[in-house]
Structure 1
């Protein structure tokens, strides 16, 4: 009987830890880092796009009710948790579930995703003390249909904002700054926060908007542009902040070219010059199922795409990307990955994870441009 009581107590502690570990602030992180003896002041990983293809939704060898690519998720989470110098933050940049149908499916899939996150037998990530921060992608915010509408088949899903906030708010920092004023309800998933000397601005790149006469289904790709621009400038002018990153599911540059349609951001032509003007280090994105690093202006702000976390597409390797802020002010980027199996959701322990990209993110022209090392 005593043994049974002890097991129940341990289980309760694990559940409590999983449910409450996200409640962190900059002060708690700073306290941890003062004790650090290595040269890394702060470290974070980022990735997106782990959901399976629609045809694998009912395939138990590929996924479960979460619609996540189970083999890729388990491996990536386990490898990150095993790093000798664990990252302080883990950014999940959307498309963690298949979604794109209705709010019932979206809610069920997010609930199942959280169960995986908390399942220590599946992965040790929830007990790693790494702060998980998530923003949604188009698969969480939009719905997909078979209508014959040229160049546009995804539309804002009414109710998705409420579902995300109900299920995923625990993966949003308590000390975040949020959009206020007009339309603040729809902009709850765009926010900012500071850790050490780093300012992070997280964007929901598919903010809900009501249908209008001109746009009878609403518009995809909407962001609160002016709030983001104001926050970028505020962080740039803050003497205690040395590095600024903007993160969101959809990129603006893909393969070196600006995209304002489904592949990118309609507000990109307004936003990107402000990022460069205020010396934002990089926009970190997913959406494209690949890894790409580029410096679109030949110098200045980087566009880094890390949408190679398990969804089928262009990527030849699945993995994660990491940024280390060093005590000397340098910003180091690395990308790790393993060659994808056939089919893409097959576990391939025989394929080791190896370094795919490594560079210092210099403001001047990077002397180490990224090549397609996944060929």
Structure 2
């Protein structure tokens, strides 16, 4: 009898342990993995880049480009990697200089036509079918022309007709719900606009708005923007309680290597624009133009200037790639720059050079340690 009681106790104990083990196994099956937790913590995500066009020396070189004048190897690789992200970005911003142009309206039209064909060719890249909203603004290579290619330190001037050509080929990459500049000169300002997604306000600038020649400026002026409209839109977004984050994007930056630029390298209206961005706590001004990657807080804290002009054009960049901003569910704004060591020559495909994280930080308003200020 004692033996039977002992056997029953052992059996009950074994059953209890087994039930607990079964319960743990069942619980682990419904708990998300660490990867799933990280994926779900991103509330909104967008990528941005600019400057993929080749140099004039490569025009006609089928190993580098085609009629689009884009750096084919860099374009295909970067677009394919973006489309393959597990947590795909909600938006993809192309910040200008996608084609070489900067000459005639005929060249601009032909090159944008070829660029569109590449973007929509799924045998080249799956980006157009990845479910990512693409938004584009022009750069100086789409909006300006050179007077003389052989003159060093050349001047660039507004190209008449470029606005119409851009709208013909690229309006499909502008949000249908965008807010636009109205009133005088609204036709020339079609490529400056604003829109919202979730709790984020985006203000997009054409940093080389067309302006007609005058007696004082017989060729027109480069680097023009509708400054007051941009500032007013930023203020309106900041006063809207539904909008927590504001970003301003355009081809040309204001700060380069920590220094303000009001000439060809930057924005003439920068001394007016930048204080307004900082005073209204804009998170960052995102730009290209310089063929490099740079991140900086020009005044030591506050609004960031991020330059992501390293997507395939020749220049300072040691790596080609894209930059990404993730808006997290806990309120953090996380910047990541991805890239691979570029080839030699720069348009050479380098499949053995892996894409790795080159910069990763939370965009805090306070001073942020930064190895990418040059």
The TM-score with structure 2 as length reference comes to 0.88
Is the 8 Å Cα contact of residues 53 and 71 (structure 2) preserved in structure 1? yes
Identify the residue that residue 364 of structure 1 maps to in structure 2. 366
Is the 8 Å Cα contact of residues 282 and 303 (structure 1) preserved in structure 2? yes
Deviation larger for 283-292 or 138-147:
138-147
Determine the C-alpha separation between the residues in 2 that align with 1:341 and 1:285. 24
Is the 8 Å Cα contact of residues 333 and 358 (structure 1) preserved in structure 2? yes
Is the 8 Å Cα contact of residues 257 and 373 (structure 2) preserved in structure 1? no
Determine the C-alpha separation between the residues in 1 that align with 2:156 and 2:60. 22
Determine the C-alpha separation between the residues in 2 that align with 1:93 and 1:179. 19
Identify the residue that residue 309 of structure 2 maps to in structure 1. 307
Identify the residue that residue 209 of structure 1 maps to in structure 2. 211
Identify the residue that residue 351 of structure 1 maps to in structure 2. 353
SS of the residue 2:364 aligns to:
coil
Determine the C-alpha separation between the residues in 2 that align with 1:243 and 1:165. 28
Mapped pair 1:106 → 2:111: no
1:76 to 78, 84, 88: 78
RMSD: 1.4
Kindly report structure 1 stretches of 4+ aligned residues shifted beyond 3 Å.
147-152
Identify the residue that residue 8 of structure 1 maps to in structure 2. none
Unpaired segments of 5 or more residues in structure 2? 1-37
Q: CA deviation at 1:146?
A: 1.4
Q: 1:372 to 1:317 in 2, by over 3 A?
A: farther
Determine the C-alpha separation between the residues in 2 that align with 1:211 and 1:372. 37
Identify the residue that residue 137 of structure 1 maps to in structure 2. 139
Q: Deviations over 1:319-350 (max 9, x none)?
A: 00000000111000000000011110000001
Determine the C-alpha separation between the residues in 1 that align with 2:282 and 2:269. 17
Determine the C-alpha separation between the residues in 1 that align with 2:349 and 2:373. 23
SS of the residue 1:351 aligns to:
coil
Identify the residue that residue 252 of structure 1 maps to in structure 2. 254
The TM-score with structure 1 as length reference comes to 0.88
Mapped pair 1:126 → 2:128: yes
2:322 to 320, 323, 342: 320
Determine the C-alpha separation between the residues in 1 that align with 2:122 and 2:150. 45
Determine the C-alpha separation between the residues in 2 that align with 1:122 and 1:166. 23
SS of the residue 1:247 aligns to:
strand
Is the 8 Å Cα contact of residues 100 and 139 (structure 1) preserved in structure 2? yes
Paired residue total = 337
Mapped pair 1:191 → 2:213: no
SS of the residue 1:359 aligns to:
strand
Mapped pair 1:47 → 2:44: no
Determine the C-alpha separation between the residues in 1 that align with 2:99 and 2:357. 27
Identify the residue that residue 90 of structure 1 maps to in structure 2. 92
Q: Deviations over 1:244-292 (max 9, x none)?
A: 0000000000000000000000000000000000000000000000000
Q: Deviations over 1:123-179 (max 9, x none)?
A: 000100000000000000000121898855110000000000000000000000000
Q: 1:147 to 1:140 in 2, by over 3 A?
A: closer
Determine the C-alpha separation between the residues in 1 that align with 2:358 and 2:186. 40
Is the 8 Å Cα contact of residues 336 and 358 (structure 2) preserved in structure 1? yes
Determine the C-alpha separation between the residues in 1 that align with 2:55 and 2:154. 19
Is the 8 Å Cα contact of residues 53 and 98 (structure 1) preserved in structure 2? yes
Q: Deviations over 1:226-252 (max 9, x none)?
A: 000000000000000000000000000
1:214-233 superposed matches below 5 A: 214-233=216-235
SS of the residue 2:231 aligns to:
helix
Determine the C-alpha separation between the residues in 2 that align with 1:147 and 1:67. 17
Determine the C-alpha separation between the residues in 1 that align with 2:76 and 2:272. 38
Q: CA deviation at 1:371?
A: 3.5
Q: 1:265 to 1:118 in 2, by over 3 A?
A: same
Determine the C-alpha separation between the residues in 2 that align with 1:150 and 1:339. 29
